[in-house]
Amino acid sequence: MEIFLYGVRGSIPAPLSNEEYREKVISILRLVAKSEGKAFSSPEEWFDGLPEPLNYVVGGNTTCVRIIGSSGVELVVDLGTGARVLGEDLVKEKFGQGKGEASVFFTHTHWDHIHGIPFFKPLYIPGNKFTFYSPLEDLPERLKYQQEPRFFPIHFDHFGSERNFHRLQKGEVLEIGGVKVEWLALKHPGGSIAYKFTENGKSFIFATDAEYNGEDFPLIQEQKPFFKGADLLVLDAQYTLDESFQKFDWGHTSYTMAVNCASSWEVKKLALTHHEPAYSDEILAIILDDARTHAENLGAKDLSIVLAREGMKFKLV
């Protein structure tokens, strides 16, 4: 099972600003000046050796994840603005020939998780087949409403592809192309869903737009059977701890509590996601360092923590 991250920002797209780009370039040039003409085998090797976050951008697109099972089955979670980039990749493959088929799971329908739909090219190509999954009874109406003429010139019903809807029932477990799919309701205004994908004994859980705070330790324990031992957990970590106190009931988690959850659930790897749009790459790098230090202080020595970034790929075998 392979997992690809196409969008990791929360709330609204947040492109790299001119000022942030300038600061990155100046920081790199300072390192060049300090190198005093030392030889290196290639520019690529030198660039790869740069300290984080100078050798990457976190990315500004909102939530979209691609999962490919060992059978080649295509699964997608959410169609935020990252879906535009995913669509560009898919049309290079069989989706460009109208021979693609994918299952799309929606965590919920807040804008940052659906506003990439009108720009997702595979939906326009006849022959492609999509099944949309959600516990929401009115998911079709919600998606169509977004593309009414008042908001977008092409209606949802005018896509060329075949689109079907599957309403998830409580406790329902699916198997799609050899991948087992389970779901869990999360604490979030309007509701949100965590999805668990398991294949060959390896599990990936995507749980964005979830709020866990100091009052939720009973809930964290209650949900442990679902999360326990996940090989990879991509979890909402939008806020600092101080911000989470100021934005109580806004539906998001501090990176400190995200680490607490992952530690309690005995997760192997935690990827912090749904990044605050106001945070620069440099701030997010500091957050990652703080999260790792917090894990060490908790005694969670076996917990690996990374910062979710666009273009990131994970392989669970």
Q: Which helix (H) or strand (E) holds 133?
A: strand 129-134
Nearest to 223 by CA among 268, 266, 174: 266
Q: What is the pTM of this model?
A: 0.95
Q: List every span in the chain annotated with CATH 3.60.15.10.
A: 2-14+57-315
Q: What is the mean pLDDT of residues 20-32?
A: 92
Both tokens assigned to 63: 């939530």
Lowest-pLDDT choice from 26-30, 238-242, 247-251, 256-260? 247-251
Q: What is the torsional sign of CA 304, 310, 311, 313?
A: positive
Q: Map residue 311 onto helix, strand or coil.
A: coil
- The whole-angstrom separation of Cα 8 and Cα 30 is 29
pLDDT confidence of residue 127: 98
Give backbone dihedrals phi and psi of 171, rounded to 5 degrees, phi first.
80, 0
pLDDT confidence of residue 105: 98
Q: What is the mean pLDDT of residues 82-89?
A: 98
Query: pLDDT confidence of 37, banded at 50, 70, 90?
Result: low
- Is residue 34 pLDDT above 90, yes or no? no
Query: pLDDT confidence of 296, banded at 50, 70, 90?
Result: very high
pLDDT confidence of residue 40: 73
- Percent with pLDDT over 70 in the chain: 98
Q: What is the torsional sign of CA 223, 176, 4, 136?
A: negative
Fold of 2-14+57-315: Metallo-beta-lactamase; Chain A (3.60.15)
Summarize pLDDT for 230-248 with one digit per residue, the tens. 999 999 999 887 776 677 7
pLDDT confidence of residue 298: 93
